[in-house]
């Protein structure tokens, strides 16, 4: 039990709390153990995921990619203590477009593309890119912060990075109608900031094609 904690999200894999820690508001992410798994195996897998998430967050932070700072990792209790980002998600931003200018939306798209390009440059694959996992930091006037590295891993494969982009593209098209132009701007900025981004964007076309074939076959 985390003292003075407020539960802000209960997911299938983790609980996310907001709680005071070292005199600041802190996000505490707690992974569950799975009762259907053998206890020893379960402990190993759950703590491995906690470590994996914290490692990918730290790897991004070292490369100056805006992600929550990790304050502490408790592998015994499967907890990550991290910086609380005050702001709204890109999802919330896009579902309430009133008063947004094209220039503001372009800036957000460019920031997303640039952040993803830098993340892939250091071989971090996010694994769960959605508009809910992109936050806009109030403090800096809405700069984009990547969160939820629960499914992230390190890979040099062009294919893995292309699939990462495809997952975000699907999230855009299923959640936000009429954002094709914005997604194009994301890819343009991505193409300008990544080392192998041209190859990855080429591979994205194959991944899309496979996705289309799969949905045609049902
Ligand atoms: N560092 C943070 N600052 C502010 N809010 C956060 C932060 N981390 C998480 N949140 C909030 O909590 C929600 C859930 O967090 P997260 O996406 O990491 O968990 P999850 O989806 O349940 O976990 P997982 O996908 O790893 O099983 C986010 O959508 C966001 O609203």
Atom of ligand 1 nearest to the CA of 150: 26
User: Which domain CATH number covers 206?
Assistant: 1.10.510.10
Task: Let me know whether 93 and 78 are in one domain.
Answer: no
Task: Let me know whether 99 and 132 are in one domain.
Answer: yes
Domain boundary residue among 33, 56, 83? 83
Residue nearest to atom 16 of ligand 1 (CA): 148
Count CA within 13 A, CB hemisphere, residue 99. 2
Q: Which domain holds residue 180?
A: 87-217
Taking the centre of ligand 1 as the mean of its atom positions, its distance from the CA of residue 184, in whole angstroms, is 26
Structure tokens at 43: 């402990």
User: Which domain CATH number covers 25?
Assistant: 3.30.200.20
What pLDDT digit, counting tens, does each position of 103-154 carry? 999 999 999 999 999 999 999 999 999 999 999 999 888 899 999 999 999 9
Cα separation of 13 and 214, whole Å?
Answer: 28
Task: Let me know whether 140 and 36 are in one domain.
Answer: no
Which residue, among 24, 13, 12, has the nearest Cα to 4 in the 3D structure? 24
Task: Let me know whether 34 and 116 are in one domain.
Answer: no
Taking the centre of ligand 1 as the mean of its atom positions, its distance from the CA of residue 179, in whole angstroms, is 24
Q: What residues are paired with 136 via a beta bridge?
A: 88, 144
ipTM of predicted complex = 0.94
Taking CB atoms and a 6 Å cutoff, what residues make up the pocket around ligand 1? 8-9, 11, 13-14, 16, 27, 29, 68, 82-85, 128, 132-133, 147-148, 150
Query: Is residue 46 included in any domain, yes or no?
Result: yes
**Number of domains the chain is built from:** 2
Cα-based distances in Å from 64 to 37, 145, 146, 163: 38, 11, 12, 23
Q: 42, 74, 123, 128: which one is catalytic?
A: 128
Task: Let me know whether 104 and 77 are in one domain.
Answer: no
Beta strand ranges found along 11-132 (DSSP E): 14-21, 24-31, 70-74, 79-83, 87-89, 124-125
Cα separation of 14 and 8, whole Å?
Answer: 11
Does 128 qualify as catalytic in the annotation?
A: yes
What's the confidence (pLDDT) of residue 122? 97
What's the confidence (pLDDT) of residue 218? 64
Domain boundary residue among 65, 83, 101? 83
Which residues of the chain carry a pLDDT beneath 70? Answer: 1, 217-218
């Amino acid at each position: 039990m985390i003292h003075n904690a407020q539960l802000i999200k209960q997911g299938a894999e983790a609980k996310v709390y907001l709680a005071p820690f070292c005199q600041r508001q802190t996000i505490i992410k707690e992974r569950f153990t799975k009762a259907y798994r053998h206890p020893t195996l379960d402990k190993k897998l759950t703590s491995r995921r906690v470590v994996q998430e914290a490692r990918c967050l730290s790897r991004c932070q070292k490369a100056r990619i805006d992600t929550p700072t990790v304050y502490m990792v408790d592998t015994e209790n499967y907890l990550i203590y991290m910086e609380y980002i005050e702001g709204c998600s890109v999802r919330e931003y896009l579902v309430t477009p009133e008063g947004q200018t094209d220039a503001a939306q372009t800036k957000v798209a460019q920031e997303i593309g640039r952040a993803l390009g830098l993340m892939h440059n250091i071989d971090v694959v996010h694994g769960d890119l959605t508009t809910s996992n992109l936050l806009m930091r109030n403090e800096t006037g809405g700069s984009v912060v990547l969160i939820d590295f629960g499914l992230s891993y390190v890979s040099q494969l062009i294919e893995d990075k292309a699939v990462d982009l495809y997952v975000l593209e699907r999230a855009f098209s299923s959640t936000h109608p009429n954002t094709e132009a914005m997604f194009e701007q994301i890819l343009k900025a991505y193409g300008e900031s990544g080392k192998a981004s041209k190859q990855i964007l080429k591979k994205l076309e194959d991944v899309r094609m496979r996705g289309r074939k799969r949905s045609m076959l049902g």
